A and B are shown apart, each in its own frame.
Chain A
């Protein structure tokens, strides 16, 4: 019995426990400006850590043998997200109660639901085989979800990302990205020999057509996302994940470079054709020329990050709510203002640890499908973090995708926790195929 207890995980969980509890306490003290507090004032963190420890103990109890490091890392990142949302929600609520009234509550619900999904995947997905078997179903599901968004989606802030079903609004691209990775992992695992070969036509060695075709399909699909949904972030994420998985399976860097270059060219042409280049590129390269209108958000984000300096103002002591999308697109700037360079670098380091652990799981997986799946899922998280952070600090144009585990947003949280659940499942050496 004792060997089954996940000691490494339990010990590592001490770090996020201390962080979320002390963090929320400082937020509470700074907002009430008084030293009096009771335990129930920080119930959110206590509940969060309660759920987390319950999951860890449950996994121990059920004899789960999977990786013990990745879960504490994720708990740390999402704990930071929890703190940021708890800290931002009251201020945002003051600005616009109709829009942000339920922000804090929803975040707790989504996070709990996400953790439950993680536990569910770890507990009930006994075999990865069915994922592989139905790969074309997943591919179809992914395309159907994206297509539905393009047709029925509603537009927010100029991007068509959401589908409203009753009181809920879903972001199908979040689920679609996982479905796509599952399909690709299955497809590549099955056809890797074919893919690695070449066609000889006279003196030329041509790339193998079987992976030129999906590449072309993917390429066209991603461009469609840009054109129809005006969603460069999702397109970049899909295409980037696709290219990296192709590279991981084939080992040909050249195609990645060609793919990226043609994609960039096509996006450039598309933006020129559709006359959207103005706002986005202006907001990226030169927001200071129009600091009150099109450049408002980037300029405010610059102010926030620069005001944070090395150590930040401290939680709940800065003014990140000058940025209007601070709870989603620009949450990284809020971290930069209140926790400073130290905070932002720690966030980067946590993502890096998460990504490397994910790749480690991929390396240790026993079959190709597990390897490709783990590598692909990890790449989703890596690229998503890089794309949104790069946009926030104006290295690339800003795109409206979420910062994994930190930004507010149900679809994204649920999906990302499922990804972690899958990674943990893959890492379990006893899993049946």
Chain B
């Protein structure tokens, strides 16, 4: 047979196999078995011994018989590649239901979770947030005793729904397969030793976290409390919470009714319109409302185009390209000249719309970018991207630019993002990398990993940051956030009221409190909570107050 036919047959066989891998469901799918047979015939054509006609019968037949056997072994190898590589994950995670309703799943998964004592997770005071307990039969089960931190830690349900947040991102440490001495880990692997997972120590303060939960009182929303100078998270709470204990599946130990309960809870969480599985502090995206004026003010100050006492006009109405912006926030409607500081303290939309236009879309975009808008902030687990506008070109629309200036428009910010803005202002214009996992602790309390406090990037200059800080202070001193003041502390803040269609607006508060060297930042959103000063601000204030009381 010609070389061309052989080549064509070989390529044909490969195509048949490739089609079979993608187009058939299972290794014993009858179509797949037929395709294998067809590939076998094509391979036999491709590999049929040449020039055997002149040979004696036995020599000829044994060469051909060898080719047939070679084809058979090749088909077996292809099937093995399918089972052990191409579909290995799908098969080994496959869950089948027997006719009597019992569940059959790969017993290895259960053993792995039994053999490995998953590391615990502690708060900064050493209180247990996620625990691995030994059961009576010598096996282990994971529990989460504190519901307020559960969404931050994430769920862990390897046999059914996988894992999220810290449970997922720090899995290598929690299982003990990374972080220790590499040689020791290799030896442990060789000796098949039960590896005890490493523990995580968080920067979270459970008292403050629980206080955040109490203050939110089941209203959907989020609270972020962080140290501006280190990036440490003291509280990171999202509501509504879910109970990871009810998602933890240890198949083989649970009855089918218990498995059904887990499935029902999972379905319930996914159908809940308040989406409890979305971790709002990092993954909740909201219009930031007036809190965004902090970014606009930072931009105009840092670019040198305005100072705190620069005068802006606010006549109550402002029109740009047909869009009419009505001023509702002036404390004295007869006054039309306002300093930048007053405009910020009284949250004057007309002034900030003009500032937005003055900055132009280019500078607006650049400054937002410097604060982290448009990307996902580097954190201990992946967080969603925030945005200033749908696209750079869309921001050239002057009406949208004006809206963006005072915090409406197409901006989407997470509570973490807005906390980072205030943190930059407090930390001389530099944003620290936010962090929640402080240390990894090995056997006998040995610190295996101490995560550093790292700079992320400079947003604005130190002088500009000092000026913007004055804006936040003025707002509490004589502006609309006077109620946020706390005796004995230097407090600054800004509320936001994000109008979103019908119904109550989202209620925002960002702010800070200082005492001595300590500088804490808070960012609070209460979904549909009404004006920022009503729902979000009292929560932020109470948290800041508690955080400093505790420190004393």
Contact = CB atoms under 8 A, between A and B. Distances in A.
B4 interface: no
Contact of A322 (B26, B80, B107, B192): B107
B217 interface: no
Contact of B192 (A33, A35, A344, A372): A33
B88 interface: yes
Contact of A305 (B62, B65, B83): B83
Interface centre among A305, A317, A348 (most CB of B within 10 A): A305
A292 B84 contact: no
Per DSSP, chain A at the interface is: helix
Contacts of B91: 302-303, 305-306
Nearest to A252: B61
A208 interface: no
Contacts of B317: none
A319 B108 contact: yes
Interface in B330-346: none
Interface in A306-364: 306-310, 314, 316-319, 322, 336, 340-341, 344-345, 348, 351-352, 355-356, 359, 362-363
B33 A395 contact: yes
B98 interface: yes
B84 A375 contact: no
B187 interface: yes
A303 B66 contact: no
B60 interface: yes
A309 B88 CA distance: 6
Contacts of B79: 393-395
B60 to A, nearest CB: 6
Q: Which of B83, B87, B108, B111 has the most CB of A within 10 A?
A: B83
Contacts of B515: none
B57 A249 contact: yes
A286 interface: yes
A433 B96 CA distance: 60
A307 B108 contact: yes
A305 B49 CA distance: 34
A356 B307 CA distance: 89
A348 B64 CA distance: 19
Interface stretch (B70-78, B227-235, B287-295): B70-78
B92 interface: yes
B192 A348 contact: no
Nearest to A342: B84
- Chain B interface bracket (under 10, 10 to 19, 20 to 34, 35 or more): 35 or more
Interface stretch (A2-10, A109-117, A382-390, A400-408): A382-390
B69 A355 contact: yes
A314 B76 CA distance: 22
Contacts of B76: 348, 386, 389-390, 393, 395
Interface string A38-55: 000000000000000000
B20 to A, nearest CB: 12
B121 to A, nearest CB: 27
A395 B76 CA distance: 8
Contacts of B88: 305-309
Contacts of B60: 251
Given A286-B28, A395-B33, A341 B62 contact: no
Nearest to B58: A371
Nearest to A299: B104
B81 interface: yes
Interface in B188-223: 189-193
Residue among B58, B92, B100 with the highest chain A CB neighbour number at 10 A: B58
A341 B98 contact: no
A386 B72 contact: yes
Given A302-B91, A306-B84, A319-B111, A247 B27 contact: no
A341 B85 contact: yes
A248 B108 contact: no
Contacts of B36: 395
Given A299-B96, A319-B107, A375-B62, A310 B192 contact: no
A250 interface: yes
Nearest to A396: B33
A318 B189 CA distance: 12
B503 interface: no
A26 B190 contact: yes
A316 B192 contact: yes
Contacts of A351: 73
A350 B311 CA distance: 88
Interface in A87-127: none
Interface in A25-78: 26, 29-35
Contact of B80 (A292, A336, A375): A336
B58 A317 contact: no
Contacts of B90: 306
B457 interface: no
Interface in B25-48: 26-28, 30, 33, 36
Contact of B98 (A26, A31, A291, A390): A291
Contact of B191 (A30, A291, A310, A363): A30
Nearest to A382: B69
Contacts of A29: 190-191
Contact of A35 (B61, B85, B108, B187): B187
A30 B84 contact: no
A255 to B, nearest CB: 12
A36 B77 CA distance: 38
Contacts of B310: none
A295 B446 CA distance: 48
Given A292-B98, A306-B92, A362 B62 contact: yes
Given A26-B190, A248-B61, A363-B62, A309 B85 contact: yes
Contacts of A310: 84-85
A216 to B, nearest CB: 22
A220 B98 CA distance: 39
Contacts of B59: 363
A288 B96 contact: yes
A345 B77 contact: yes
A258 B100 CA distance: 43
Contact of A308 (B33, B84, B190, B193): B84
A345 B81 CA distance: 9
B102 interface: yes
Contact of B61 (A251, A285, A307): A251
Contacts of B64: 253
Interface in A226-253: 244, 247-251, 253
A317 B192 contact: yes
Contacts of B73: 348, 351-352, 386
A190 interface: no
Nearest to A351: B73
A290 interface: yes
A307 B106 contact: yes
A368 interface: yes
A293 interface: yes
A336 B79 CA distance: 12
A217 interface: no
Nearest to A253: B64
A245 to B, nearest CB: 10
Nearest to B107: A322
B494 to A, nearest CB: 54
13 contacts: A30-B192, A34-B191, A248-B62, A286-B28, A288-B96, A289-B96, A306-B88, A308-B88, A317-B192, A340-B84, A362-B62, A395-B28, A395-B33
Interface of A: 26, 29-35, 196, 244, 247-251, 253, 284-286, 288-293, 299, 302-303, 305-310, 314, 316-319, 322, 336, 340-341, 344-345, 348, 351-352, 355-356, 359, 362-363, 368, 371-372, 375, 379, 382, 386, 389-390, 393-395
Given A251-B61, A291-B96, 9 more contacts: A30-B192, A33-B191, A247-B65, A302-B83, A336-B83, A336-B84, A371-B62, A386-B72, A395-B36
When A and B form their complex, which 8 residue pairs have the shortest distance between CB atoms, in order from nearest? A306-B91, A291-B104, A30-B192, A306-B92, A394-B28, A291-B96, A292-B98, A341-B84
